[in-house]
Amino acid sequence: MRSTTDMPPSGQKSYVRQLVDAFALLAVGLGLAVPLILFWTAWQQARVFNLHTAEELAAILAEDARYALLVGSRPDAQALVNSLLKFPDLMQVRLLDAAGQVVAEQSTAEHGQAKRTAQVETPVLAVDRGSSTRLDAGTPDPETPLGRVVLTLSLDRAFSVALETAQASLAQLGLLTLVLGLAVAYLSLRMLAPLGTLVRRLSDPLGTVLPNPPTASPAEVHRLYAAVAAMRARLAENQRQLQAHAEELEARVAARTQDLRAARDAAEQANRAKTLFLANVSHELRTPLQAIILHARLLERQKTSPSSESLAVILRASNQLLELIEQLLNLTKVESGHPIEVIYGRFALGALLEDVVTTLEPTLSPRNRLELARPEADVTLISDRARLTQVLYNLIRNADKFTDGGVIQLTLEPSRDGKQAVIQVTDEGIGIQPAEQARIFEPFYQGGSRVAGSVSSGIGLGLWLSRRILEALGGGMTVASEPGNGSCFRIELPVIPTAVPACSAAHPPSGPGSMPVETAAHRGLRLLFAEDEDSIRAPLTRFLRDAGFSVDACADGTSAQALLEHAPHAYAGVILDHRMPGCQGLDILAQLRARGQNTTPVVILTGDDRAPLQAAITRLGAHLMVKPVRPERLIGTIVTLIEQSEQADRGTLR
């Protein structure tokens, strides 16, 4: 296939055509120029010759007419004039006296019809200038003219002769040009025809053998054919080598692509296996850990316990294990493409910070001091209180871990525009190296520096998860640090998220020892709680009742289903374990929604946080909580859902 570069430009002529055109142009130019030059030369020569002849005739007449003018003999003068008209091309002869009067005059029949004429005047002197003889004493001064001879000459015949000469030369030149043109065309075609054939055959495939040029072609054409044939042979060989190399490269690329695809598939399979392993391990740990935390929390509330110190150790270890499990769960969710779950509620940010300080201060190193700096006017925030508390816990514990005998300050900056809330956690610890500051938010990354004596720095998910939570809440987190001068983590959150409607539900904290107090808002509200594990059902029921709720607890799904069918509107909220004997929690939820109870708050407790179950629960308008569940978080969630349901009911009544 020819490319566009193989084709001549539009309007481009062949070399033979250009040569013919050039020769034709030259022939036309010569055919016009040479006859014109010959005509002009012949015309000028004939004109000069005729004028010179006329001047000589005028001089002869002037010499012969001197006597006739001296004696005033007109007959003699007329005879002289008549005799002069015998010469060709003379049309008129006049002899004038000194006063300019005509003495004798004669014209031919062609006078007045000539197109091209010329006049010659010659004075008639008394004595010839070349002679010393005088006629007599009365003769006039020889320098004084006796008269003038005026000849009128026709140049038409000279013009015709010049024109005929040019025409004859034009015919001869045309014949010569034709002969030369044929000769040039023959020689050009003889030389260029093989070249034209060569040019046309250059577009043939490289493997095609070029024909030999005609034997009569010049030696240069034969050498050119040989050079082109050799070049085409080299190009064909190069093309063959390139094709072989390209095929080899394609084979290598295909093999490499296959290896990369296999490696990618293996990596994806390993990642899926890792995610599944983490999910399964965390799932198996949730139920026993849930029981440990709940019973330890119940024992903690008994101030008379003789093993309070050991109990505090159990609670701290359980909470640390719970945090690790939650971090692993969130990691598996994010890697599976699911967003971090948040529940929005309205709360006072300053009061939240005070609760955080009150809760964490006893658990920090005795060498460190936790301080709170906040403005007198509190900031009301619409966000996820439990998630924000989780972030603050992580930052303060990290600061305690990397500070040895210093101040950890929690600061709430006053909002300048009323749209952003700014929280800072500042420590006087060892700081963070500049090279590590960009990596501390990566999953599983642990800084190389730590305080002497510290052992564990976690699994490296805390800061990564904290930033993801803040991003899910519409905010962000940055860090500023210098080695040896501590660190400052800055949190920015919108006061009112643009994508979440305003609400007034309070959201309690979820940290250890931060149980929500009983309020008139939910005291006496009736809850249905279904959980088949006695070790979980008994303590959670007690926590719910201590928070002011009236709780109907049952150990299987069948009993829960019967209670809801018997008194469908008796419960302000429903808490269901997903996997129970008789009937699963999701089935009970579906039946509840099918009966038209679309606004009844429902919380599903499960150890399975996989996407299909989450989607099914969300589609039915319920809230999913993954075990192990902190009692305060469960209570805060059910309170928030009940208040939102009441607001929705009031809006419907209006």
Q: Are 379 and 352 in contact (CB under 8 A)?
A: no
Domain around 484:
344-446+458-494
340 CB-near residues (< 8 Å, 6+ apart):
330, 333, 334, 387, 468, 469, 472
Q: Cα(82)–Cα(64) distance, rounded to whole angstroms?
A: 13
Q: Are both 350 and 367 inside the same structural domain?
A: yes
Over residues 557-581, the mean pLDDT reads 89
Residue 171: CATH number of its domain = 3.30.450
Residue 544: is its pLDDT beyond 60? yes
Measured distance CA(58)–CA(124) in Å, rounded: 9
Kindly report, residue by residue over 471-517, the tens digit of the pLDDT: 999 999 999 998 988 999 999 999 888 765 444 333 333 444 444 44
Which residue among 304, 338, 372 closes a domain? 338
Q: What is the mean pLDDT of residues 516-536?
A: 77
Residue 487, domain member (yes or no) = yes
How many domains is the chain built from? 4
Question: How far, rounded to the nearest angstrom, does the alpha carbon of residue 46 sit from its chain's CA centroid?
Answer: 83
The answer to whether the CB of 385 falls within 8 A of the CB of 352 is yes
CATH number for the domain that contains residue 332: 1.10.287.130
Q: What is the pLDDT of residue 524?
A: 83
Residues 52, 21, single domain; the answer is yes
Query: What's the confidence (pLDDT) of residue 449?
Result: 53
- Domain for residue 315, yes or no? yes
Q: Are 148 and 96 in contact, with CB atoms under 8 Å apart?
A: yes
The token pair at 41 is 């030369």
- Shared domain for 489 and 591, answered yes or no, is no
Asked whether 61 and 95 are in contact (CB, 8 A), the reply is yes
**Least confident piece of the model among 86-95, 303-312, 323-332:** 303-312
State yes or no: pLDDT of 57 exceeds 70: yes
- Kind and range of the H or E run holding 382: strand 380-383
Task: Using the 3D structure, point to which of 291, 312, 338 is the last residue of a domain.
Answer: 338
Q: Indicate if 179 and 221 belong to the same structural domain.
A: no
CATH number of the CATH domain containing 619: 3.40.50.2300
Per the model's pLDDT, the better-predicted residue between 291 and 517 turns out to be 291
Helices 308-335 and 462-472, packing angle to 10 deg:
60
What CATH number did the domain enclosing 348 receive?
A: 3.30.565.10
Residue 471 lies in a domain: yes
Q: How far is 243 from 233, CA to CA, in rounded Å?
A: 15
- From residue 218, give the alpha-carbon distance in Å to each of 17, 189, 192, 221, 230: 20, 12, 10, 5, 19
Between the two ends of the chain, the Cα-to-Cα distance in Å is: 79
Contact 103, 42 (CB under 8 A): no
- Model pLDDT for residues 320-365, shown as the tens digit of each residue: 677 777 777 777 767 666 778 788 888 999 999 998 998 888 888 8
User: What does the mean pLDDT of the chain come to?
Assistant: 79
Long-range contacts of 553-558 (CB under 8 A, 24+ apart): 553/529, 554/528, 554/529, 554/530, 555/530, 555/531, 555/580, 556/530, 556/532, 556/580, 556/581, 556/582, 556/583, 557/530, 557/581, 557/582, 557/583, 557/584, 557/585, 557/587, 557/588, 558/582, 558/583
